[in-house]
Amino acid sequence: MSLWPLIGIAIVILGFALRLNPLLVVVAAALASGVAAGLAPLAVVAAFGKAFNTNRYVSAPWIILPVIGLLERAGLRERARDVIAGTAAATTGRLLLAYLLLRQLTSAVGLTAIGGHAQTVRPLLAPMAEAAAARTDPAITDAGRQRIRALAAATDNIGMFFGEDIFLAVASILLIKGFLEANGIIIAPLQLSVWAIPTAIAAFGIHGVRLWRLDKRLARQ
């Protein structure tokens, strides 16, 4: 078996390490893997088109983005900051922890599109978390603000990643089931979903401790 089709992985790693344009890196990696697998360049492009046509739902975010842009232009981020700035009990850690819980619960019942970086983290969650941090530490630096934004994005990732596996019809559960069956292990999707619950709880606890430590650090500063 030839390992040359795996060259696309090396291209992705190298391209991201060099901070090249992600879209160009991914396209180059796909083309390289396709050609290495014996496909003609036109056949690789045709495979791209077929995959996009089969999964047209991937274009849905492009419909959402203009709406988010208009809301931000109308002052959505500023209003989100003002709401949190006027709520004394809302700390950065508590806010992100509440969002983590909501993200896990909604993902566990298949509602993965409710949250997300484009529609929730950037216009709402990150400005609110940043405002709470600035109230606790008025002298917060730009590096501190960037860390808060990164934690907001990480909270969304963790909530969805560990919450969606509880939903038995999600693609990751079906992928795991298919892999196990290919290796002679027969298991029902419901069993995989049930055993994803302890992992989700552990992820919530571990990230919750990180957010609690964040609040303590901001208070000290």
Question: DSSP states of 114-182 as a string?
Answer: SS-IIIIIIIIIHHHHHHHHHHH-TT--HHHHHHHHHHHHHHHHHHHHHHHTTSTTSHHHHHHHHHHHH
Are 70 and 29 members of one domain?
no
Are 122 and 39 members of one domain?
no
Asked whether 131 and 95 are in contact (CB, 8 A), the reply is no
Are 194 and 160 members of one domain?
yes
Are 209 and 139 members of one domain?
yes
* Domain range for 11: 4-54
Domain total in the chain = 2
Are 144 and 189 members of one domain?
yes
Asked whether 107 and 163 are in contact (CB, 8 A), the reply is yes
Are 27 and 64 members of one domain?
no
Buried residues in 183-195 as b, exposed as e (16+ CB within 10 A):
eeeeeeeeebbee
Are 16 and 41 members of one domain?
yes
For residue 202, name the pLDDT band (cuts at 50, 70, 90): very high
Quick count: other Cβ atoms within 10 Å of Cβ 128?
A: 26
**Range in 47-51, 82-86, 111-115, 197-201 the model is least confident about:** 82-86
Are 132 and 170 members of one domain?
yes
Pairwise CA distance, residues 177 & 190, whole Å = 10
Query: Helix, strand, or coil here: 217?
Result: helix
Mind listing the pLDDT tens digit for each residue in 38-78? 888 888 888 877 766 665 555 555 666 676 677 667 676 67
Mind listing the pLDDT tens digit for each residue in 171-186? 777 777 888 888 888 8
Are 9 and 114 members of one domain?
no
Are 47 and 99 members of one domain?
no
Q: Running DSSP on this structure, what letter comes out for residue 18?
A: T
**82 membership: H or E segment, kind and range:** helix 76-85
Query: Helix, strand, or coil here: 90?
Result: coil
Are 151 and 187 members of one domain?
yes
pTM score of the predicted model: 0.66
Last residue of a domain, one of 14, 35, 54: 54
Are 32 and 138 members of one domain?
no
